[in-house]
Structure 1
């Protein structure tokens, strides 16, 4: 399964994320029972009770996809992004998922509000403070801890154990293992992790191959090669239009974005900073130092080196002077219009935004290169998706918490089960590929689905026999053949699942677990992290941006480190290591 901004495209998430979601007014009918469930009976007289005791009550209906009769209503809240596309007539409020929820499960899902990804955390924080929460919704770790402290969440333990389908349990695991153990609090299952367990999220280097060819350049083997290619693209007229109108490296203001962010660039220098600007300052990244203690990745000396190299590129005019004002959409427009020839990003970048460029400019060609290091050795790649950091929670006032489990079961069945259906995943509309899976009110992903589908597709291409492919893999197979037959709209499928594709490169990353660097801290946000995280995050974003743009000396990084420590960072480090010592 793929995800686009894909929310964040793999049913990643991330999410997102995915996917990248919501607690609130109690709807009429929330206490309805699944079809064929035993109805509740009012208190009976003594004689009636004695009579009932003589005969067994009807068995509870535990169908993971059982329909509520009469139906019930549930409210949620959602976040979207500008890259999200809809089928004709569909909206985030009315689409294949919302209609199927109501017709097949008897659950009418309504959105209390919908905002852009970048506004979601702030608006939800306001809702949490006011108490105006929907029935179920997506939260980050800090928001989760706030709701736990306020005793506002339903315990999903019984609902999950009784109603989760075999497929859901296979993917999510049991209560005390797999992803769910990160959502336990004092013996209660207070959330459902909607990401985590994935290793598909490291960056690649995406480079205009036609520009390399025009300049007689080879792909990068070291980070110095990356710098030289970026400078050449900015100064040597790589598009051969006799104009000085191109740049070497694309970036956007959300510097930890999965498209045109700086994660992969930093990884090339052994740096693993991560502190996304659109979250609450608690989604941080911690690594072990030589003594075995956990340290905040963003204040390590390797980060300073990498920021200095980005400043070098900016001063050489290899990075647009407008990058700090561009979001992902603006950066994508800049790139697909032919103004820049390289970026760092994840596997789904082929689907968004590069797929549209291929249709507009068929001569444009992109190559995918694995991350490289400063000294030419294999770079260690950073995975942000292995530890869950997005959760679905259920309002304590909801009368049917198992209904949220059923929504999850439905998503898993339609995307990964025996009745999987591409209408709930990716649909072709004219010349466009429309991702429908982000429409779901709750989703998730099977960590190795895309990698397994890649292997199946490759075998089918070799043997010219697609007979054993599942519906999703068969769709990829057909689209690759269509692209090879001249359908440029399917270029992205070739780049993701075909030859010299992202999943071919990911297979190499995954061939050795030591290629990956994971976050060593995956507990709930610490007290100081919750209190000071947002302020520290904003300080970091400001300093990093100024350094890259040359508005601050590279030595400003040292002052940032000192300020981070004195303004709460030292306390956070102690709290994180206290957690680590008790694991």
Structure 2
């Protein structure tokens, strides 16, 4: 070998050594993880962690850092190098819109609602459509068809939703009052009416006084919308005999429900101030022994039960073995058992095309989201690390009492939970009332009334929706309290139609027909 060749050979070895040293340095970054990112396609043959930024809302001032123990364990599970971009919840929507406008969108961001800005960004091609890929992942493939329909835009899926109980709505009532009156849990609408009447005219608390009434309602419209479905009314939109979508408030079933509400008001089976009562005070009349029932999410049963026991304990009169509350999903009406569903989700995770540039990278991100839904992933995000953030005492889960530790390392990570296909986190010991609530919510899934227009985004509604809603909601309240009759309500429907309702119905049906042809 001559001198020049020798020098070139040594120089080559030196350069290769420097290059390898640089790669090793990158790989050592963040506990041995490589520096490939969702924006830089990695060699498929290398099992290097993917860099991924996730934008999430924060609800406390102290949130887990990227190098916290739980985040590190999640990274190991998902083979990902995560940067968590925490945004205060109070300013999240503002930051969300600014981020969309900038075009520099993180790989994954939580979308709190199908807002016009998100829809416009989707239509402009800013986010990946995920529908065709979900079947390839063990957990994401088990998402609910109903909820996917609810989150869809123009018939396509642009996010992985954070699951919530679809059948969460029901009836919550004082079981001790029902027992005192010798009654059974209501099964039909008439049974429900008779229960409210007995709570009002009987002596359900056995104090010898006329000081109780049937059901507490607030200015929140939810209870009316739940009860309307019992009478056969649609969930916002239903199909007529010709296959055309029509608003629920234009149907006879809706009118039947209004007559029932008016009867409850006239007979003083509900509180007279419902139209102005603040929703934050909703459970108070039940806890205080004034009202016997409410219609809303069944979770109220357990919360009210705990408050009643707490009040009795404070007064030195508590009997821990006594059960005060119970819950059922619905009562049977003209079309059998029907329940108004929730949307089934609380936000969704969208994947940005500006950061996640290729299909291979998209699949890496979907794998990250899928693994977060494994039992280990959910328990890390929801509970933390055993021995540090929780322990088991006599077989029961106990969270750490070190609030500062929980906040800095674990608590906020529940924003990553999707619960797909189910909640796999560890639970505190549940009371019998809470167990009943959860069972009711699960059973309700088979009787929920879906909204066929849920996926459609109406330009008319975006502009005139609040005005249109106020017309009908105000007319419903006025009818219930006797300020207008049925002709007055029909006049309000005509005003709704003239104020943009006709165009709204036309647009929704055009969107529905277009989707049906796909």
Q: TM-score, normalised by structure 1?
A: 0.62
Q: In the TM superposition, what are the counterparts of 1:122-271 in structure 2 within 5 Å?
A: 135=106, 136-143=109-116, 146-148=119-121, 151=124, 153-155=126-128, 166-172=137-143, 190-195=158-163, 199-201=166-168, 203-256=169-222, 261-271=223-233
1:230–1:249 CA contact under 8 A, matched in 2:
yes
Give the structure 1 partner of residue 479 of structure 2: 547
Quote the Cα distance in structure 1 between the aligned partners of 2:210 and 2:99: 51
Query: What stretches of structure 2 of length at least 5 have no aligned partner?
Result: 1-28, 76-80, 313-318, 391-396
1:308–1:554 CA contact under 8 A, matched in 2:
no
Give the C-alpha shift of residue 341 in structure 1: 0.8
1:195–1:444 CA contact under 8 A, matched in 2:
yes
Quote the Cα distance in structure 2 between the aligned partners of 1:131 and 1:383: 36
Quote the Cα distance in structure 2 between the aligned partners of 1:320 and 1:305: 21
Aligned pair partner of 1:331 in 272, 282, 300: 282
Does residue 293 of the first structure (1) align with residue 267 of the second (2)? no
Structure 1 window deviating more from structure 2 (93-102 vs 535-544): it is: 93-102
SS in 1 for 2:449: strand
Does residue 59 of the first structure (1) align with residue 44 of the second (2)? yes
SS in 1 for 2:509: helix
Q: Structure 1, residues 162-219: CA drift from partner, whole Å, max 9, x if none?
A: 9x9833333349xxx89668767799864334448x7533x33322121122233333
Q: Structure 1, residues 293-349: CA drift from partner, whole Å, max 9, x if none?
A: 221123322222212322322233322234334444310233223221112234433
Q: Structure 1, residues 81-130: CA drift from partner, whole Å, max 9, x if none?
A: xxxxxxxxxx4752699953366434342433323xxx987x68986998
Change beyond 3 A, Cα 1:59–1:423: closer
Q: In the TM superposition, what are the counterparts of 1:428-507 in structure 2 within 5 Å?
A: 428=398, 440-446=414-420, 449=422, 472=426, 479=429, 490-496=431-437, 502=440, 506-507=442-443
1:153–1:190 CA contact under 8 A, matched in 2:
no
2:234–2:248 CA contact under 8 A, matched in 1:
yes
Q: TM-score, normalised by structure 2?
A: 0.69
Could you say what the CA RMSD is over the residues aligned between the two structures, in angstroms?
Answer: 4.8
SS in 2 for 1:248: strand
Greater helix share, structure number: 2
Give the structure 2 partner of residue 101 of structure 1: 71
Q: Structure 1, residues 417-460: CA drift from partner, whole Å, max 9, x if none?
A: 798975599965599xx9x998533432335x47xxxxxxxxxx
Give the C-alpha shift of residue 220 in structure 1: 2.4
Give the structure 2 partner of residue 391 of structure 1: 348
Give the C-alpha shift of residue 567 in structure 1: 1.9
1:139–1:393 CA contact under 8 A, matched in 2:
no
Does residue 382 of the first structure (1) align with residue 349 of the second (2)? no
Give the structure 1 partner of residue 369 of structure 2: 408
Give the C-alpha shift of residue 238 in structure 1: 1.7
Change beyond 3 A, Cα 1:321–1:73: same
Change beyond 3 A, Cα 1:352–1:167: farther
Larger Rg: 2
1:543–1:560 CA contact under 8 A, matched in 2:
yes
1:413–1:420 CA contact under 8 A, matched in 2:
no
Aligned length, in residue pairs? 450
Give the structure 2 partner of residue 20 of structure 1: none
Does residue 321 of the first structure (1) align with residue 319 of the second (2)? no
1:195–1:385 CA contact under 8 A, matched in 2:
no
Q: Structure 1, residues 347-375: CA drift from partner, whole Å, max 9, x if none?
A: 43344444443454544522334522456
Give the C-alpha shift of residue 148 in structure 1: 3.0
Query: What stretches of structure 1 of length at least 5 have no aligned partner?
Result: 1-31, 43-56, 81-90, 274-284, 451-469, 481-489
Give the C-alpha shift of residue 76 in structure 1: 3.4
Q: In the TM superposition, what are the counterparts of 1:111-130 in structure 2 within 5 Å?
A: 111-115=86-90
Aligned pair partner of 1:344 in 295, 308, 319: 295
1:407–1:442 CA contact under 8 A, matched in 2:
no
